[in-house]
Amino acid sequence: MNEKFRCGYVAVIGRPNVGKSTLVNHLIGQKLNITSRKPQTTRHAILGIRTDEDRQVIFVDTPGQHLDQPRAINRYMNKVAKAAMRDVDLVVFVVDRLKWTAEDEQILLRLEHLESPLIVAINKTDRLSDKEMLLPHVKELAARLPKAEFMPISALQGDNLTELYDLIGNYLPDADAHFGEDQITDRSTRFVVAEIVREKILRQLGEEVPYASTVEIEKFEQQGSLIEIHALILVEREGQKRIIIGEGGSRLKSVGSEARVDIEKLLDCKVLLKLWVKVKSNWSDDERALQSLGYQDAH
Ligand code: GDP
Ligand code: MG
């Protein structure tokens, strides 16, 4: 009872596909962020929260930083990523083994000026035959980030994650919990529901419907013992709409039923889920359209 409690914000940054969502999901022990092989599946700074006896860690899962795609959506994403790096107690920079790209370099340049403490998590070590191979790379990075701590991990297999979590704990300030114990995200349930639908579309259609879809929850209402949810899937082109709907509505039905199973688990009650698909041309190129879809709250 008299033990001091720690609480703080931890930004998880890194280029797309290095395993940020996998890491946060694993640390939180519940699936909230969507992961996929394709970059750019995380478009929001989702907060994942883990509360233990002695601490509360609030993870900010930032979107990837996109260098050569000047479209509005990417400008927004860069803004969120930048904002997430400021005002946090700790930054965890996730990189993929020895794969060092221009994007990693770009992030590193920003981190050289960072004031918050920094942990570099070298992920996917399960795919390395010999971990010694990392040493020269780590040495080089350490020369450029002299204050950083380095930790090889496998977010997928769970290797070294307890150690990483303990290390994270050391950097949190003494503070009371900011969120209730059972709260996993401070994003609205609606948002998480929309993400689940979007994940099913990406998983089922992947290649065919690139990043061209977004999901809006139009209705979210308790109806007796069940919750009725109406979700609108917005795509950029007529062709994408046809693909998502599928032959005789078959694809949409299967997206809907997979999403419903997950949403029922999340909400712990029966759900009636209805999906619609609508073409909203060039939504990702239009700042105003983005704002109307709720993408405006990056600061
Ligand atoms: P993000 O874009 O950084 O959030 O990356 P994701 O968490 O979505 O992961 C991208 C891909 O890398 C997914 O297919 C993950 O399963 C995979 N991945 C993540 N962590 C690991 C890891 O430790 N080992 C291996 N082998 N794959 C991983
Ligand atoms: Mg992600």
**Where is average pLDDT lowest: 72-86, 160-174, 240-254, 273-287?**
72-86
Dist. CA 245–CA 239, nearest whole Å:
10
Is the Cβ–Cβ distance between 212 and 201 less than 8 Å?
Answer: no
Q: Which residue has its alpha carbon closest to ligand 1 atom 17?
A: 19
Is the Cβ–Cβ distance between 22 and 36 less than 8 Å?
Answer: no
Kindly list the structural domains of the chain, giving each domain's residue range(s) and its CATH number in brackets, ordered by start: 6-170 (3.40.50.300), 189-292 (3.30.300.20)
Asked whether 123 lines ligand 1 (CB < 6 A), one says yes
Closest CA to 99 of 13, 17, 12, 11: 17
> Please, which residues have CB less than 5 A from ligand 2, an ion?
20-21, 42
Q: Identify the pLDDT of residue 20.
A: 87
Q: Identify the pLDDT of residue 245.
A: 93
Is the Cβ–Cβ distance between 227 and 189 less than 8 Å?
Answer: no
Dist. CA 238–CA 80, nearest whole Å:
30
Dist. CA 175–CA 6, nearest whole Å:
5
pLDDT digits (tens, 9 = 90+) for 162-209: 999 999 999 999 998 877 665 555 455 777 788 889 888 888 887 666
Q: Identify the pLDDT of residue 86.
A: 63
Closest CA to 42 of 90, 83, 95, 81: 81
Q: In angstroms, what is the span from residue 18 Cα to ligand 2's centroid?
A: 8
Please give the mean pLDDT across all residues of the chain. Answer: 79
Ligand nearest to the CA of 43: 2
Tokens for 220, please give them.
């979210």
Q: In angstroms, what is the span from residue 60 Cα to ligand 2's centroid?
A: 11
- For residue 264, pLDDT over 90 is answered with no
Q: Identify the pLDDT of residue 80.
A: 56
Q: Give mean pLDDT, residues 95-117.
A: 89
pLDDT digits (tens, 9 = 90+) for 39-83: 444 444 544 778 888 998 888 755 444 444 445 555 555 555 566
Question: Cα angle vertex 277, ends 192, 238, to 5°?
Answer: 130
Dist. CA 65–CA 67, nearest whole Å:
6
Q: Identify the pLDDT of residue 31.
A: 45
Is the Cβ–Cβ distance between 170 and 90 less than 8 Å?
Answer: no
- What is the pTM (predicted TM-score) of this model? 0.64
Asked whether 36 lines ligand 1 (CB < 6 A), one says yes
Query: What is the Cα gyration radius of the chain?
Result: 20
Q: Identify the pLDDT of residue 274.
A: 93
Dist. CA 181–CA 86, nearest whole Å:
25
